[in-house]
Amino acid sequence: MESNKIQSIKQKFNIIGNSSLLNRAIDIAVQVANTELSVLITGESGVGKEFFPQIIHQYSHRKHSPYIAVNCGAIPEGTIDSELFGHEKGSFTSATSDRKGYFEVADKGTIFLDEVGELPLQTQVRLLRVLEAGEFMRVGSSKVQKTDVRVVAATNLDIPQAISQGRFREDLYYRLNAVPINIPSLRERKEDITLLFRKFAADFAENYKMPPVRLTEAAQHVLTNYYWKGNIRQLKNITEQISVIEQNREIDEVTLKKYLPDNNSFLPIVANSGNYVDTKSFNTERDILYQVLFDMKKDITDLKTLVNNIMNGSVDVANISNYPDIIPQPSIIPHKPDVEEVIDIVPHIPQHKTSKLSDDTNIEDTEEYVEESLAIHDAEKDTIIKALVRHRGKRKYAAQDLKISERTLYRKIKEYDLENINFK
């Protein structure tokens, strides 16, 4: 698409940036607009996915028909079917009258399903029928109704992973993903970061009747190289904070860093005996936990090999200081150790399934051994508690920090019995 048309689209929808990845996403949205294909928009939270369904709708032949945006993650599981497909009077306790659902109201138009990955499996079956046959039934009714709706969906979840975990239907994924559009994260659009900052600073200066803040060259460098886990939403919030709080309108790197979280919500984890792992390369806390477990497994395997070599006499215990990353340095033993001495040297070998060792005993395979305190269940609970403490019990911001929906966070709080704890 010619650059002039892309620029006009940006102006119309107030999209800021010149990144080639952003331009490509806009181009795909316009090209697919006049088709009837379903579109799945993916990208991290805060990248601006909500603009692209509007572009698709406005450049399609449905632009004069209804456009409805639905946040699937904000609707309780018990009422989501009624919201989407409507219900009949008396179908449940509070159903005092008939009600049209969004798919009935949006007939001939476009419906945008944000956070589609949060839909319950039962609702996914209903949605699949709409996509395949244009048919649905109200809750409590046996009458099949027709609808002609263009579906655009968005999610920040890893849908293939959700499919493998049984949380999302594979057939629905392929129906929604007829045309995929990926919105780049802010750290993939480094050339746009200072441009966005200036735009936000000018907007806030106009709103609050004050001069706009400016960044020094060093501050611009800090801003550009920050990780921006919250993407554009986080950048906008920080710009507003600086605009309101700082008296000096020229912001240097020292001042800017006061508004940027040092850990950027990515805490370094210790693995491989003190070597730090950059968790920015991981997408979720689950990936981080898996990495910890894999590193521990490797250390245990190395330790098992070392003990085998000691028992076979192929490693001189006097030179065992060559393995400081695996075990603490022992005192020098001037003779070939017996079994008890080996156990003293390596005190952390799991012995929950072992009997007394002998010279011909094979060291047990410890790959299946994971201490209870390392269970993913416990680590996930701890992560949620830390997020709630960090945000003083504000679940909305804790959910954003954890990159999950509020509904998922509520479910986890109930699952881990955290409802009655005051985090403020």
> Which of 184, 206, 238 lies at the terminal end of a domain, its last residue?
184
Residue 30 domain boundaries: 3-184
Q: Which two tokens stand for residue 148?
A: 């002609």
| Global pTM value | 0.61
Q: Are 264 and 241 in contact (CB under 8 A)?
A: no
How confident is the model over 126-149, as pLDDT tens digits? 999 999 999 999 999 999 999 999
Q: Is 274 a member of any domain?
A: no
Q: Is 16 a member of any domain?
A: yes
Mean pLDDT on 215-220: 95
How are beta strands 39-42 and 150-155 bridged, if at all? Answer: parallel
Q: Is 178 a member of any domain?
A: yes
**Which of 6, 26, 114 has its CA nearest to residue 70?**
114
Q: Are 231 and 186 in contact (CB under 8 A)?
A: yes
> Which of 184, 213, 237 lies at the terminal end of a domain, its last residue?
184
Place of tokens 């509070």: 94
> Which of 167, 184, 201 lies at the terminal end of a domain, its last residue?
184
Q: Quote the pLDDT of residue 347.
A: 47
Residue 280 pLDDT > 50: no
Q: Is 268 a member of any domain?
A: no
Q: Quote the pLDDT of residue 93.
A: 82
C-alpha Rg value of the chain to the nearest Å:
28
User: Does 100 share its domain with 205?
Assistant: no
What's the CATH number where 167 sits?
3.40.50.300
Mean pLDDT on 82-94: 89
**Helix-then-strand count for the chain, H and E:** 17, 11
User: Does 172 share its domain with 195?
Assistant: no
Total of domains in the chain: 3
User: Does 21 share its domain with 140?
Assistant: yes
User: Does 212 share its domain with 315?
Assistant: no
Mean pLDDT on 119-129: 95
User: Does 229 share its domain with 133?
Assistant: no
